Structure 1
Amino acid sequence: MVKPASPDLQEALREEAAALRFAACGFTDARGDPVRAERLEQWLGEGAHGSMEWMEARKSQRVSPQGLWPEARSVIALGMSYAPDVDPLALEGDPEAARISVYAQGRDYHDVVKKALKALARWLIAREPESELKVFVDTAPVMEKPLGEAAGIGWQGKHTNLVSTVHGSWLFLGAIYTTLEFAPDAPHADRCGSCHKCQDACPTDAFPTPYKLDARRCISYLTIEHKGPVPEEFRAALGNRIYGCDDCLAVCPWNKFADTAHRNMKLAPRKELTAPRLAQFLAFDDAGFRQFFSGSPIKRIGRDRFVRNCLYAAGNSRSTELVGAVERLRGDPDAVVAEAADWAAGRLRPSL
């Protein structure tokens, strides 16, 4: 059932979103955007999505909110800040440290953001009982970043992530599709200008051109989504990054305006993940991994892929302190882990 939403309801919803610790809230309509659809088609056609088959499998639903839910009339785009306390690049020069992307140092954002989205949805249904809605956080065929730009909460920067003049590059995104018709906000203008710091910062040259990412070269993709051995051409560039990569986000000049005061404290980092040591992680068996990362987004990649990443970092460390742990993993039951251990051992031997 289509129903225009009143300006008072729209403003009250923004206030409720803020009370639920959403740092940004905007509105756009649910119709398709031909430009957005064309860009997705081109990106998929180039195979830049790597092994993320789900991107292509549900393409028709992804290109437009109404492609996923024909009854939708508006999209409420929401952002929750996870601005870091310290420089995400601070551990770059510490080879025995394990660098974990800022977003994964705290509780699983899927749980935190979805809980807040559901609370906002209940609030809206209580005021408009005849309306319908659906909430999404990352796991559905929803193009959160382009929708966030269309709703005015930021713009897709040259690193392809959403950037805010207030929150920098540190926003978790969620969306509510609704049958209510809200007045759309103006799309956000691109404020990247001539800056290319994010492009220059990428260790693996994952940006063939500004505003386009080749996931097959991206460290976040390689350490999280990629299931087999990481191609050898990228292993040295991984450095000590074991889960994700913040480099292109961390160098964005707009981050100077990001303030942890806007961060949802439920997303605060766990102390033991801000500067962990590789030696600890190399000792994980499956049970130890699952227990340590309970409630963390890291848990979803499993022990084997995680230890694989740690072995590449160990090989890059050139640290003789890690030789014993690496040698023990050369006989690991998982073939990918064992191969990574062989590679790491070969890198460490010249240091002996």
Structure 2
Amino acid sequence: MSDALKTRIIEQAKGAGFDAVGFSSASLPEPIRERLARFLALGRHGSMGWMESRAEERAHPQSLWADAKSVIMLGMNYGPDKDPLEALKDKTNGVISVYAQNRDYHDVVKKRLKRVARAIAEDTGAEVKVFVDTAPVMEKPLAARAGLGWQGKHTNLVSREFGSWLFLSAIFTTLDLAVDKPENDHCGSCRNCLDICPTDAFPAPYQLDARRCISYLTIEHPGPIPREFRKAMGNRIYGCDDCLAVCPWNKFAERSRESAFHAREELRAPSLRDLAELDDAAFRKLFSGSPVKRTGRNRFIRNVLIATGNSGDAVLSTKAEALLNDESPLVRGAAVWALAQLAPDKAAALRSDYLAKETDESVRSEWTAG
């Protein structure tokens, strides 16, 4: 297929707001498939059962769509205007991952992606399918094969131009497009991303154990946060940017030109005091249009209470105490832990009364934990 067509596709994508475009075949090499199989065999996907049940489609793009010949990988810069690590210093405020401080990227990117795919179909008559992180597509390996960047030691994509801050999406097509040269690995001897991880989620360079990752724990994990990770979570209440933010390649990154990805002021570093008071209606209102909404109020308040317990602010103990009577066992259990951190004498005084009426075993275990 001619270079002129690829040039037109790139121009169409850039015109739709994408910052990076590359071309790969609709296949993945054996080492990548083996890495996925090992990740799953070791159980490092945690409770994300969909990764295992649809592993074949992830490993073989043509299992997802047999007629696909090429994959057009696109990246949209969501670079922040401030260092995300700065927000970790004030423990009385919560920290939400950069990507979730405004509009849900799925909605923003998919709209633009469909525009590009429609133009390709009209221009060539080829069939197209679009994917934005909601189907079993291995976006990062495909993006690396398409030359958008390389998978760093933290397993995320790193771009020489945009650092760590690229939303990835894909257009599968029946067009047989010439592939681009894969990007080389430029991590060198750097270990910044591995060494900064608060929970040691990287068993080795280029390996991730999601079960230890704060992003997984605060977003995907459905139950109580394992006690061994609570202190390490600090004031992170939705996701974690540490391994991304510390990458030296971010020195070339710039703030996103897409206003939908610019942080809403009320979500930059929201007060734990205010967040702890959110009922379901208020939660939905605050996070309308945000990816945070998908976690649900109870899981989010669980995270807020862990951050509250880590705040060191005894004044916030009243917020934890108020949630001891919440309807959700997930919230009640986290409230017990937070109160015990901030006001241990108060927690001890309440223990007998609350144990007498508590029927949920997970909450009872929080009251009786040493």
**Structure 1 length as normaliser, TM-score?**
0.97
- Contact 2:215–2:238 (Cα < 8 Å) also in 1: yes
Deviation at 1:351, TM superposition (A): 9.3
The CA deviation string for residues 245-279 of structure 1, in whole angstroms up to 9 with x for no partner, is: 0000000000000011x532221111111121111
After TM superposition, list the pairs within 5 Å mapping 1:85-100 onto structure 2. 85-100=81-96
Which of residues 105, 109, 115 is equivalent to 2:111? 115
* Equivalence for 2:282: 288
* Equivalence for 1:167: 162
Distance 1:233 1:82 in 2: 32
CA shift in 2, pair 1:44/1:308, >3 Å? same
* Equivalence for 2:337: 343
After TM superposition, list the pairs within 5 Å mapping 1:97-246 onto structure 2. 97-129=93-125, 131-246=126-241
Which of residues 255, 262, 271 is equivalent to 1:268? 262
Deviation at 1:31, TM superposition (A): 2.4
* Equivalence for 2:54: 58
Distance 2:259 2:117 in 1: 21
1:70 aligns with 2:54: no
3-state SS of paired residue (2:88): coil
**Letter in structure 1 aligned against 2:97:** S
* Equivalence for 2:358: none
- Contact 2:113–2:130 (Cα < 8 Å) also in 1: yes
Which of residues 297, 305, 323 is equivalent to 1:311? 305
The CA deviation string for residues 202-241 of structure 1, in whole angstroms up to 9 with x for no partner, is: 0000000000000000000000000000100000000000
CA RMSD of aligned residues (A): 1.1
* Equivalence for 1:12: 8
Deviation at 1:350, TM superposition (A): 4.8
Number of equivalent positions: 346
Consecutive unaligned residues of structure 2, counting only runs of 5 or more, are: 347-370
Distance 1:263 1:103 in 2: 14
**Bigger Cα Rg:** 2
Distance 1:209 1:141 in 2: 25
Distance 1:350 1:95 in 2: 19
Deviation at 1:35, TM superposition (A): 1.2
**Letter in structure 1 aligned against 2:331:** V
* Equivalence for 1:49: 45
- Contact 1:315–1:344 (Cα < 8 Å) also in 2: yes
Which consecutive aligned stretches of 4+ in structure 1 deviate over 4 angstroms post-superposition?
none
Distance 2:204 2:249 in 1: 21
- Contact 1:33–1:64 (Cα < 8 Å) also in 2: no
Distance 2:329 2:344 in 1: 24
**Letter in structure 1 aligned against 2:231:** A
CA shift in 2, pair 1:136/1:350, >3 Å? same
* Equivalence for 1:30: 26
- Contact 1:17–1:25 (Cα < 8 Å) also in 2: yes
Consecutive unaligned residues of structure 1, counting only runs of 5 or more, are: none
RCO (CA 8 Å, sep 6+): is it higher in 1 or 2? Answer: 1
* Equivalence for 1:328: 322
- Contact 2:197–2:243 (Cα < 8 Å) also in 1: yes
Distance 2:230 2:116 in 1: 43
- Residue identity (%): 58
CA shift in 2, pair 1:93/1:350, >3 Å? farther
The CA deviation string for residues 34-85 of structure 1, in whole angstroms up to 9 with x for no partner, is: 1111110011000000000000101111102112111000000010000000
Distance 1:45 1:222 in 2: 20
